[in-house]
């Protein structure tokens, strides 16, 4: 009698587990079919004049942060960010980045506000990222965001210079920002500069060869510079665009 009751209970649990599995597969099938309908019907509005839905924004942002953290985890950061690196990075930033990401006392270009997702103000957002994560983002870019990859066109030292400057932005005053890297108003040079300008082609240790760099004495001392993690600095040789990275 007891054996029969045990067998019945076992059969009920087995049937319940099978029912849950079938139900889950059914839900996945419906979601898959719905996704295909959305993709092929064109029902989803891709216009940048429409804000992302809350779920879409959460999904993109969470995927973005987790992916960068994972892929940048084993990048070796220089022992310190020198004033020369910061000054060189300022020139590149104002030429290629300011029009989207603004700066202390300087707004992004008007057209950048129409991008989806909207580029963050790095004077605030840079505090959320580690130096190696900023380096990875600048080097590899971000898909479906308008953020280009600078690695194919800029050497490793130039990218570290930009990362060094970006990490100083949250603590930088408008006056300090204005002194560094030459004057670029409201997004800098939209014609000759932009994302593919040559201003960031800085080579050599410390980035001293940047075009139009501000006087070295104007560069603020790096605050909170990361300690050397593996005893090596990024390659400074010209054209070393494919150094060690976590790809």
Tell me which long-range contacts 222-225 makes (C-beta under 8 A, separation of at least 24): 222/80, 222/81, 222/82, 222/83, 222/86, 222/164, 222/167, 222/168, 223/168, 223/171, 224/167, 225/79, 225/80, 225/81
Q: Radius of gyration over alpha carbons of the chain, in Å?
A: 25
Residues for the chain: how many in total? 247
Computed over every residue of the chain, the mean pLDDT equals 78
**Who wins on pLDDT, 192 or 89?**
89
pLDDT at res. 140: 98
131-182 pLDDT tens trace: 999 999 999 999 999 999 999 999 999 999 999 999 999 999 999 999 998 7
pTM value is 0.67
- Segment 109-120, tens digit of pLDDT: 999 999 999 999
pLDDT band for position 196 (cuts 50, 70, 90)? very low
β-pair partners for 147 = 142
Please tell me the least confidently modeled range out of 30-39, 151-160, 188-197: 188-197
Q: How far apart are CA 154 and CA 157, in angstroms?
A: 8
DSSP string, the chain: -HHHHHHHHHHHHHHHHHHHHHHHHHHHHHHHHHHHHHHHHT-S---TTSPPPHHHHHHHHHHHHHHHHHHTTTPPPPS---HHHHHHHHHHHHHHTHHHH-BTTBPPPGGGGGSSSPPP-HHHHGGGS-HHHHHHHHHH-BTTTTB---TTTS-HHHHHHHHHHHHHGGG--HHHHHHSS----TTS-TTTTGGG-STT---SGGGTT-TTPPPGGGSPPPSSPPPPSSS-PPP-STT-TT-S---
Residue 37 structure tokens: 């309908």
Tokens representing 88? Answer: 């060189």
Closest CA to 95 of 200, 216, 23: 200
96: nearest Cα among 203, 211, 187: 187
């Amino acid at each position: 009698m007891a054996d029969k009751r045990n067998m019945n209970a076992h059969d009920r649990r087995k049937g319940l587990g099978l029912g849950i599995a079938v139900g889950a597969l059914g839900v996945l099938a419906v979601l898959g079919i719905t996704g295909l309908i959305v993709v092929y019907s064109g029902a989803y509005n891709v216009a940048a004049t429409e804000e992302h839905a809350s779920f879409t924004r959460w999904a993109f942002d969470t995927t973005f942060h987790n992916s960068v953290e994972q892929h940048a985890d084993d990048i070796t950061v220089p022992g310190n960010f020198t004033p020369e690196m910061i000054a060189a990075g300022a020139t590149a930033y104002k030429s290629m980045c300011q029009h989207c990401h603004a700066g202390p006392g300087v707004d992004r270009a008007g057209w950048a506000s129409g991008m989806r997702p909207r580029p963050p103000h790095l004077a605030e957002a840079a505090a959320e990222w580690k130096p190696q994560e900023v380096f990875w983002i600048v080097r590899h870019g971000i898909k479906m965001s308008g953020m280009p990859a600078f690695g194919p066109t800029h050497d490793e030292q130039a990218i570290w210079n930009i990362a060094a400057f970006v990490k100083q932005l949250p603590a930088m005053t408008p006056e300090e920002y204005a002194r560094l890297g030459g004057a670029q108003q409201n997004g800098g040079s939209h014609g000759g500069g932009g994302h593919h300008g040559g201003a960031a082609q800085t080579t050599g240790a410390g980035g001293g060869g940047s075009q139009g760099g501000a006087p070295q004495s104007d560069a603020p001392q790096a605050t909170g510079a990361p300690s050397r993690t593996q005893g090596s600095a990024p390659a400074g040789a010209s054209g070393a665009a494919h150094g060690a990275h976590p790809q």
